[in-house]
Amino acid sequence: PSPPVCTLLFTSLLHSLPACKIEVPERLTVSHETLVRTGLADRCVSVPVREATDAEILLAHSEEYLEAVKKTPYMSLEDLMEFTRQYGDVYFHPNIYHCAKLAAGAALQLVDSVMTGKVRNGMALVRPPGHHSMRSAANGFCVFNNVAIAAQYAKQKYGVQRVLIVDWDIHHGQGVQYCFEDDPSVLYFSWHRYEHQKFWPHLRDSDYDIVGKEKGAGFNINVPWNKVGMENGDYLSVFCHVLLPVAYEFCPDLVLVCAGFDSAIGDPEGEMCATPDVFAHLTHLLMNLAGGKLCAVLEGGYNLTSLVQSVCQTVQTLLGDPVPRPASLKSPCISALESLQCVRSAHKAYWSCLKHAGNHNRAFSRAFKGPEAAGGCSDTSGFTQAVFGLLLPLGYEYDPGLVVLVRMPDSGVSDSLWQQLIGLLQSFALGHTLVVLQVREEKALIGLTASSLLGNPAASLKQLQAPLTEDTEAIEKLRHRLQADWKFLQTTGECSSITFEININIHRS
């Protein structure tokens, strides 16, 4: 029997500060009330929270900093104000040290529950958030870096070799980046409102060309949003064309999510336009990595309506409910495509799935004249490249009402790849998937197909090798040929004009 699928941890001690108008206790109370009212809380296993110990906090912070924060409950309000002034955009309440220890402890309880197999995945609803806090500094409403501590803890306590941190909060989690920038065992992905450094925290370090240092080069992925108003299509496009291929190549043993919902519509900080149901998709797309071991920890999210809906979408997806139809997605905007192109180029030296990125369309337009590759892909990495680069984006744009998946005998597709495919395709059509198996004596295949259809996480693909050049070329050729009609296949900001040019040439010749 598979373990219960979702844990909910909730830090109950509340602090509020007149100085901070948006990071308010209602963020937690209203989220929790709604989870109870909708019956979602009842379907989760509740795990008690605990305080993180000093030793655990020191996994991501300096002793001097911890000692300084320890004194805050005893300070006069005046001293607290003085203490606060040395940091950026953070407010200290006499209670916040206690709350911050519980927030970090909740993240650790969640990691314990998932790593011991008590539950498959879960979400910790905590305050204060964590991803801005640095080794020796509070910042951006954050005191201790809950997710960074959790990643270190998972490595230390469970010997986890690779941790993927996905930060979909709309701010750059610079604290997480700094903690792991030279560490190849932690892959940190963040998208964030950037506006060419005009948006808080105004760091050069948040741009796409900051990829990590030394051994950690390539393991820090920044996607800067240079315009506000990004929509579902922009987010999903970055998942298909950057995060997912790299994440599958990385092959994490554990996925942690800095789950901030200020990236949703209506948020006063983010000013983006993605709807709460996009978080069901983001969550779902990560749920077949690491054998389903996913821990989401709340970060930002300041529009109560949007926050609560987004939290519910995330929890509901973690529980295994079908994800909503990705209805009426707009094509990614030019600014998003420019960011996408920059990130892919910046990382092409580090990830074989991006090796071909940034090769100019002109080169490919010449390649159009060559013969088409006859068969499908020859191996797993080529196949996954086709899934993320072609199949998923096409699915999102087409929005089918039913997915029919046909498998012929001797397909050459491995069991885990087959399961991944079934899992990923359940992003569409409310999960209505019809599998047609034309098999000989493969009883085991029927079992593992059923298991995937029931929503069990797929086995990992192991660390992927570089795809064969001929596979990559065939996929890219197809992608370039189709992207005039299927905008979700675009990965560069310049395609529309080039495609136009190619069309003209075709008309002339």
Query: Which residues of the shown chain bind ligand Q9C in the complex (CB under 6 A)?
Result: 89, 129, 132, 140-142, 169, 171, 200, 260, 262, 269, 299-300
d(CA 327, CA 366): 36
Cβ atoms of 74 and 36 closer than 8 Å: no
Long-range contacts of 33-37 (CB under 8 A, 24+ apart): 34/308, 34/311, 34/312, 35/8, 35/311, 35/312, 35/315
Which is nearer to ligand Q9C, 300 or 423 (by Cβ)? Answer: 300
Toward ligand Q9C, which CB reaches closer, 260 or 326?
Answer: 260
DSSP 8-state code for residue 103: H
The three-state (H, E, C) secondary structure of 454-469, written as one string: CCCCCCCCCCCCCCCH
Toward Zn ion, which CB reaches closer, 228 or 413? 228
Q: Mention every residue, 6+ apart, whose C-beta is less than 8 A from residue 282.
A: 166, 168, 235, 239
Binding to Zn ion by residue 260, rule CB under 5 A?
yes
Candidates 120-128, 170-178, 414-422, 437-445; binding stretch for Zn ion (CB under 5 A): 170-178
Residue 455: which residues within 8 A CB-CB, separation 6 or more?
A: 320, 426
Q: List, in order, residues 6 or more apart from 369 with CB less than 8 Å away.
A: none
Tokens of 254: 């554990």
CB of 171 to Zn ion, least distance (A): 4
As measured in angstroms, the least distance from the Cβ of 326 to ligand Q9C is 26
Interface characters, 285-314, with Zn ion (x: CB under 5 A): ---------------x--------------
In whole angstroms, the minimum distance from the beta carbon of 260 to ligand Q9C comes to 5
**Of 132, 172, 192, 284, catalytic:** 132
State the nearest-atom distance from the C-beta of 40 to Zn ion, in Å.
23
User: What does 431 bind: ligand Q9C, Zn ion, none (CB cut-off 5 to 8 Å by kind)?
Assistant: none
127-161 b/e (C-beta count within 10 Å ≥ 16 → b): bbbbbbbbeebbbbbbbbbbbbbbbbbbbeeeebe
Specify the 3-state DSSP secondary structure of 388: helix
* Of 178 and 364, CB closest to Zn ion: 178
Which range binds Zn ion by CB under 5 A, 44-52, 257-265, 412-420, 489-497?
257-265
Q: Which of the listed partners (ligand Q9C, Zn ion, none) does 141 bind, with a CB threshold of 5 to 8 Å by partner kind? A: ligand Q9C
- Residue 145 or 283: the one with the smaller Cβ distance to ligand Q9C is 145
Judged by beta carbon distances under 5 to 8 A according to partner kind, the member of ligand Q9C, Zn ion, none in contact with residue 132 is ligand Q9C
Choose between 132 and 477: whose C-beta lies nearer to ligand Q9C.
132
* Shortest distance in whole angstroms from residue 199 CB to ligand Q9C: 9
Q: Active-site residue 171, yes or no? A: no
Q: Select the binding partner of residue 320 from ligand Q9C, Zn ion, none (C-beta < 5 to 8 A, by kind).
A: none
Q: Which of 174, 175, 151 is nearest to 65 (CA)?
A: 175
**β-sheet bridge partners, residue 264:** 274
Q: What angle do CA 485, 286, 158 make, to 5 degrees?
A: 155
Residues annotated as catalytic (active site), given as ranges: 132
Binding site for Zn ion (CB under 5 A): 169, 171, 260, 262, 300
